[in-house]
Structure 1
Amino acid sequence: MTRDPHTAASNQPEELSAIAAEQPLFRSPSEGVAGTPVPPGSDGLENVEGYRRPEYDALSAAVWTAPTAQLPDIGEASFGPAHPVAETVHLLDDRVQVTNTAIYPWRVHASLLITAADNSRWIGTAWFIGQHTLATAGHVVYIKNSGVPGRDGWVKSIQVMPGRNGTALPFGSVTSTNFRSVLGWTDSGDENYDYGAVVIPTELGSTTGWFGFGAWPDADLLKSVGNISGYPGDKPAGTQWYDGRGISSVNPLKVYYDIDTAGGQSGSAVYRMVNGGRYGIAVHAYGGATVNSGTRITRPVHDNLLAWTA
């Protein structure tokens, strides 16, 4: 008998149990107690100074060339440095740096410094979904099939730096050794189940605020504008970068989008605007020749994320 790939997995002695089916489908966002929210753009994109809307002159735009990252993306730990699913910029780099990272929603995104079981160090991104919980990719917290002795399995620790802006840490940092994922990733390494969580030993999310998350039908997602902000390794260390664009396609377990990202943004929120609130619809994890993709927040994913905030 096979087990449900969404069955929760944890590196802690006692795993969190699944929540009851009658729980609400959507987790609501919170702006936190400090500062005020940034009003969303009327077109579903964030208002970021200097951001170039998708209607640009392709002939006059520069083609992007990736510089050398200062630390490797955590995706390389499982897939190798030349893995075909690396997050990508597609020809024209639309990303813009976010510099006011101490305000909502930018402080919800956290830069991660990850120490694997073999003490190698990597970078990634996560986003608050509750007072002490951040959602991220499964391969951020659990390395799979690296081929390096002593590296596979749960990472040793993750330093979480919300709203980081280079060397500035407006909310300090907190180190976690408490992680979650699901058997579809930890047992099988299946990219369709590549999601997880970082549980921190403080309630820092009460200050930063968090995003909601939920499951929507295909038709709703295909009409949505996706937003991604995170910490790419091809930019100056610890700087946050944003891009947004319409959702390209979906399948039952993945969401696809032509939103520019780079290694280091594994685990970023793919989120949409709903009545002025920000709701995650996928966890960014993979790239491709023409679109990047994330693990779709379906009902089982929603239920696990909600349980992990308890």
Structure 2
Amino acid sequence: MKNIKRILSVFLVGIISVSMCLPSMTAFSAETINSNEEIWETVTYDYVTKTENVERITKTAFKSEVQNKMQTMNLDEEYITEAYNPGIPEEDSGIMPFVVHGDDDRTKVNPNNSPYCRILALRLGQDTNGNGTCNAWYLGTGFLEGPDVMATAGHNFWSSSDGWVEECRIYVRQNSSTYGKTFYYPLKWTCPSNYTKSGDTNYDWCAVTLQNNLGSSNGWFGKGWSKSNINGKSVTVSGYPGDYAGFQYKDSGTTKSSTTYKVKYDIDTAGGQSGSPVYDSNGVVWAIHTYSATSPNNCGNRITEWLYTVLQDKYLEGKAKWGV
């Protein structure tokens, strides 16, 4: 049934333009120092200065920092946060059924409706010629988790062969095969060094701070993590597949199995949808779509305690910065 899956879901598009590469990055890795304590090591890459910073911190210390920030803001969100909608229609009246081929169950959605306006189209550029210009472009997906916070797959921003992506263009409410001149840039992003050092796919995630407050006008998703399995959840994956570049598609299904780091679901996806949210009817994201798995299921990286804490930290920073 699920015959359109693509491994790693990053979609390489033709070299249709040449653009000057713009600058930005950060990372943590998980390491146990005793039976009760973990060290989280991340790499953060600054997109503007093109500098990299590695930070090591214990789980206890990092969570304490975030808890202190939440208490200052009178928040208590240790396991789950709520989605935010600034008043955008949430009904599915804009969804247009679009059976593309065979048993593909995806439907085209209206990105001006919520929650689809919280999902971002990415064009990612690399200089493969080494001459200072981006000549290879890839497609990906991200989603808002705060005023200026985007979550996505780690492999959208990092590869062992090319390193960090050299240009990232972020499109809001993209709904055309032509990508327009209005797009946004990241400020910095954070990946776990488990992924950047060894390519451990259990840590295939990236938390991005944007240069603009896109969340206040588009809203953002909630997020949740659980110590137990998340089997049997009704979830949706919506993102920007490369086979219909520039348009957003969704499919819904059920989580079939889960481990500490991964979850599988019977949902159709295609290349380009890496970084899409795997979310429930309340707009709470439980995983980030990352790659295809054994038929008939696709696979995402769960929102772990570590990723949840990183996203919560960036969310709080954004609330303080933008006054929302």
TM-score (ref. length: structure 2): 0.71
User: Relative to structure 1, is the Cα distance of residues 93 and 202 closer, same or farther in structure 2, using a 3 angstrom cutoff?
Assistant: same
User: Relative to structure 1, is the Cα distance of residues 288 and 170 closer, same or farther in structure 2, using a 3 angstrom cutoff?
Assistant: same
Range with greater deviation from structure 2 (203-212 or 114-123) = 114-123
Give per-residue Cα distances to partners, 1:142-165, cap 9 Å, x unaligned.
Answer: 122x3xxxxx21111211112210
Q: Structure 1 residue 116: deviation in Å?
A: 2.3
Output the CA distance in 2 between the equivalents of 1:265 and 1:244: 14
Contact 1:162 1:171 survives alignment (8 Å): no
Question: What stretches of structure 1 of length at least 5 have no aligned partner?
Answer: 39-45, 53-60, 65-91, 147-151
Contact 1:156 1:177 survives alignment (8 Å): no
Match of 1:131 among 119, 125, 147: 147
Match of 2:214 among 170, 189, 204: 204
Output the CA distance in 2 between the equivalents of 1:260 and 1:113: 22
User: Relative to structure 1, is the Cα distance of residues 169 and 103 closer, same or farther in structure 2, using a 3 angstrom cutoff?
Assistant: farther
The answer on 1:304 being equivalent to 2:310 is: yes
Report the counterpart of residue 180 of structure 1 in structure 2: 190
Q: Structure 1 residue 141: deviation in Å?
A: 1.1
Contact 2:29 2:192 survives alignment (8 Å): no
Q: Structure 1 residue 308: deviation in Å?
A: 2.8
The answer on 1:227 being equivalent to 2:261 is: no
Output the CA distance in 1 between the equivalents of 2:228 and 2:180: 38
Q: How does 1:217-256 map to 2 (within 5 A)?
A: 217-219=227-229, 221-235=230-244, 237-256=245-264
User: Relative to structure 1, is the Cα distance of residues 3 and 190 closer, same or farther in structure 2, using a 3 angstrom cutoff?
Assistant: closer
Report the counterpart of residue 83 of structure 2 in structure 1: 29
Give per-residue Cα distances to partners, 1:100-120, cap 9 Å, x unaligned.
Answer: 211211100111000125322
Q: Structure 1 residue 171: deviation in Å?
A: 11
Report the counterpart of residue 4 of structure 1 in structure 2: 30
Higher strand share: 2
Report the counterpart of residue 214 of structure 1 in structure 2: 224
Letter of the aligned partner of 2:298 in structure 1? N
Q: Matched residue pairs, number?
A: 254
Letter of the aligned partner of 1:184 in structure 2? N
User: Relative to structure 1, is the Cα distance of residues 121 and 50 closer, same or farther in structure 2, using a 3 angstrom cutoff?
Assistant: closer
Give per-residue Cα distances to partners, 1:46-75, cap 9 Å, x unaligned.
Answer: 7774559xxxxxxxx9964xxxxxxxxxxx
User: Relative to structure 1, is the Cα distance of residues 93 and 308 closer, same or farther in structure 2, using a 3 angstrom cutoff?
Assistant: same
Higher helix share: 2
Letter of the aligned partner of 2:88 in structure 1? G
